[in-house]
């Protein structure tokens, strides 16, 4: 068949249009996943579960602690930043002087890398950091609060929680704020006229009307939550083990690439499972 005739075929056109996406998925998604399974489960040409044994039973492994802290951070951080972002969207729905400046301040953390965010919070919370100096000068404390160190693990966890909320609320806000721009402003004005409370506006106006944006924000943030690494590593090291941090430690310190690949598989499976749950829950809600 001549090439000109072949290009007129709709099926050929469709495959040509899809080919960049298929190539991207094959190179950047499928190949790394398949290679991770090979590194984790194939040794000297045969199937091996040595990495699984190390992950579950080795005294050097912090797998269960990493799983616990990763879930704990996700469970605490995501609802907090979602509520903060929704509150900011409602407050910024009104136009007032300085509104644009407030929006710039809210999205500023997006310009910083995770590493920079971790360093900022570390410098703020050390014994001679900004927070301790402020509290000491105000006379609220007599000695500096020690946030970091294994013996202060829960204060370190609090520092990680605050840094993560500060760093990642911006991305949730941007997604929800963009979705909220499609809402007719007269709806909120009518709610104001009838004296609707903050809760009524949040529960019965904003959330139902930005469900697709809320789904995207929750999905993206949950996936990122399971990959949290730099902020935790800067502030806590292995005092607060997380899954991505343990993968890094397995490569850099233990030189166990199979264990690191297994951590990557666990993170990918958890992310995919949560993604499927979100999509099903929101799809059913939207179809009602």
Domain 59-115+167-284 adopts which CATH fold? MetI-like fold (1.10.3720)
Count how many residues are written for the chain. Answer: 288
**What is the rounded CA–CA span in Å between residue 176 and residue 221?**
12
Predicted TM-score (pTM) of the model is: 0.83
Residues facing 42 on adjacent strands = 47
CB 109 within 8 A of CB 173: no
Which residues lie below 8 Å from residue 118, measured CB to CB, with a gap of 6+? 163, 230, 231, 232, 233, 234, 235
CATH 1.10.3720.10 location in the chain: 59-115+167-284
Span 243-257, mean pLDDT?
Answer: 93
Provide the 8-state DSSP code for 42. Answer: E
pLDDT at 2: 67
CB 188 within 8 A of CB 202: no
**What is the H or E stretch that residue 74 is in?**
helix 63-91
Tell me the pLDDT tens digit for each residue of 114-172: 889 999 999 999 888 888 889 888 888 888 888 888 888 889 999 999 999 998 899 99
pLDDT at 284: 65
**What is the rounded CA–CA span in Å between residue 165 and residue 157?**
12
Q: Taking 80 as the threshold, does the pLDDT of residue 287 lie above it?
A: no
């Amino acid at each position: 068949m001549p090439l000109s005739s072949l290009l007129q075929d709709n099926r050929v056109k469709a495959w040509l249009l899809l080919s960049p996406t298929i190539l991207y998925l094959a190179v950047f998604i499928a190949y790394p996943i398949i290679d991770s399974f090979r590194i984790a489960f194939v040794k000297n040409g045969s199937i091996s579960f040595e990495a699984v044994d190390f992950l579950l039973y080795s005294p050097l492994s912090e797998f269960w602690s990493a799983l616990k802290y990763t879930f704990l951070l996700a469970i605490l951080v995501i609802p907090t930043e979602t509520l903060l972002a929704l509150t900011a969207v409602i407050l910024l729905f009104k136009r007032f002087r300085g509104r644009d400046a407030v929006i710039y301040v809210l999205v500023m953390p997006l310009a910083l890398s995770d590493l920079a965010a971790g360093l900022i919070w570390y410098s703020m919370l050390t014994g001679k950091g900004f927070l301790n100096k402020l509290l000491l000068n105000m006379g609220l404390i007599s000695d500096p609060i020690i946030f970091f160190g294994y013996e202060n693990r829960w204060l370190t966890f609090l520092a990680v929680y605050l840094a993560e909320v500060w760093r990642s609320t911006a991305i949730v806000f941007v997604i929800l704020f963009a979705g909220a721009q499609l809402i007719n402003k007269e709806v909120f004005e009518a709610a104001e006229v009838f004296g609707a409370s903050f809760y009524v506006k949040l529960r019965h106006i904003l959330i139902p009307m930005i469900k697709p944006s809320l789904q995207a924000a929750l999905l993206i943030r949950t996936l990122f939550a399971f990959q949290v690494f730099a902020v935790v590593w800067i502030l806590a090291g292995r005092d607060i083990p997380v899954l991505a941090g343990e993968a890094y430690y397995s490569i850099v310190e233990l030189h166990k690439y199979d264990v690191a690949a297994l951590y990557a598989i666990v993170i990918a499976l958890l992310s995919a499972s949560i993604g499927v749950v979100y999509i099903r829950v929101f799809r059913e809600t939207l179809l009602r």
